[in-house]
Amino acid sequence: MAEDEILLPGATDLHVHLRDWEESYKETVSSGTLAALSGGVTTVVEMPNTKPPIDNPEALSKRLELLESDSYVDCAVHVGLPRELQILSAMRREGAIGVKLYPKDFPRLREAFRAAHDQSLKLAVHAEDPEALVQDPVGPRAEENGVKEVCKVASRVGNVRFCHVSLASSVSAIAELKSHTNGVSFEVTPHHALLSCGPDYRQLPPSLNVRPPLRRECDRIAMFETLRNGIADFYATDHAPHTASEKESQNAPPGLRSLKFAYPLLLTELQDVAMACRLYCERPAAYLGETKGKIEPGMIADLVVFRTRTRPDGQEPEANSNEFDIVETGPFVGRRLGYKVEQVYKGGVLSYSSETGPLAKRGRREHSA
Ligand code: NCD
Ligand code: ZN
């Protein structure tokens, strides 16, 4: 490796919405996971709000087949809460790793916690209270109430991962829950840690529409701090792509595209390689029970070679200083990245190179190894 390159573990992103199926015009499993691979993300966990949704064994089995044939990276799936909770055991056998709860599921919070616990499924929650969302879809009340409600239920059972936490007050409530309950964790997204809404939260450009919404600067700083000091358990994108024209319209749907740049962005902004790897590689892989996420003997060799803008001796290498990406579209437009993915290895096999592009899909043995 060159003196301005570093070798880091491949990242595991616990929260992505790959589209495909009826929403293939936004993204396919193939294009979304190629974005992941080329950004150094070698494992993704899918959310179930696809069209049609993954909330029954048939849809799950079709999805797992599609992921197996089309994905460039390793994938796991959270299913949606089915009407009949008994079918969770069939979905567990089929290969689901967890259940994702949405605001619409709040009336069934207790039974959902119980069922996930009984079936040894992970539970991930979008903790916004549906009634407060109706009254004010972009204010902080929905998350304040939602997190309180989930904490109440979780204090009996544990086993909960709070998705995309966006308020300082949520961090305090979750810290309190953690102090007496096992199996509690939370994710922080790049957008909640790096972007804020300005003084008036109703005045955001539609292109930045996302759920939960971008918050005030004080909350943004609080979320960034949870990454800096490792109080957040995981960095996870909530990658939720829409087309450029959808995002440019006045009624832009919620969701941001972020998988391709999430890892270099984290390394650049955090300026703490060890913490970045803990948040985006080691802890999420351990959460999934995977032997990856660390560069150690016995670990699966999902590895990324990054070229760095700053050499280990602190000098800026002139030769490559123009090679670094400035993000061209999307929520992080204009950001200069200090890290560039050069090569990605999956299980020790070269799977992507910045010069040649992707070399192998996961399921199809396109490479000779
Ligand atoms: C998600 C999507 O588009 O799939 N959007 C988002 O803003 N996070 C769905 C959702 O969580 O509402
Ligand atoms: Zn999401």
Q: Which of 49, 51, 126 to mutate to test the pocket of ligand 1 (most atoms within 8 A of CB)?
A: 49
Q: Choosing from 55, 219, 233, 238, which is the catalytic residue?
A: 238
pLDDT grade for 365, boundaries at 50, 70 and 90? very low
Q: Return the ligand 1 atom nearest residue 254 CA.
A: 7
Starting at the earlier edge strand, list the strands of the sheet with 41-46: 11-16, 41-46, 74-80, 98-101, 122-125, 160-162, 184-188, 234-235
Tokens of 28: 């396919």
Domain 12-294: homologous superfamily in CATH: Metal-dependent hydrolases (3.20.20.140)
Q: What is the mean pLDDT of the chain?
A: 93
Mean of pLDDT values over 278-289: 98
Mean of pLDDT values over 255-263: 96
Nearest CA to ligand 1 atom 10: 211
pLDDT of residue 367: 39
The proportion of the chain whose per-residue pLDDT surpasses 70, expressed as a percent, equals 94
Angle, CA 244 vertex, CA 239 and CA 248 arms, to 5°: 110
Residues flanking ligand 1, CB < 6 Å: 17, 49, 126, 210-211, 238, 240, 254-255
Query: How many angstroms separate the alpha carbon of residue 58 from the centre of ligand 1?
Result: 23
pLDDT of residue 369: 36
* Ligand of minimum distance to the alpha carbon of 27: 1
Q: E strand or H helix at 6, and its extent?
A: strand 5-9
238 is catalytic: yes
Res. 321: pLDDT tops 60:
no
Q: Which of 241, 259, 254 is nearest to 205 (CA)?
A: 254
pLDDT of residue 168: 98
**pTM of the entire predicted model:** 0.95
Res. 366: pLDDT tops 50:
no
Mean of pLDDT values over 108-137: 97
pLDDT tens track for 146-191: 999 999 999 988 999 999 999 999 999 999 999 999 999 999 999 9
* Ligand of minimum distance to the alpha carbon of 236: 2
pLDDT of residue 99: 98
pLDDT tens track for 49-94: 999 999 999 999 999 999 999 999 999 999 999 999 999 999 999 9
Mean of pLDDT values over 220-243: 98
pLDDT of residue 160: 98
pLDDT of residue 309: 83
pLDDT of residue 156: 86
* Ligand of minimum distance to the alpha carbon of 16: 2
Res. 368: pLDDT tops 90:
no
142, 212 contact by CB (below 8 A): yes
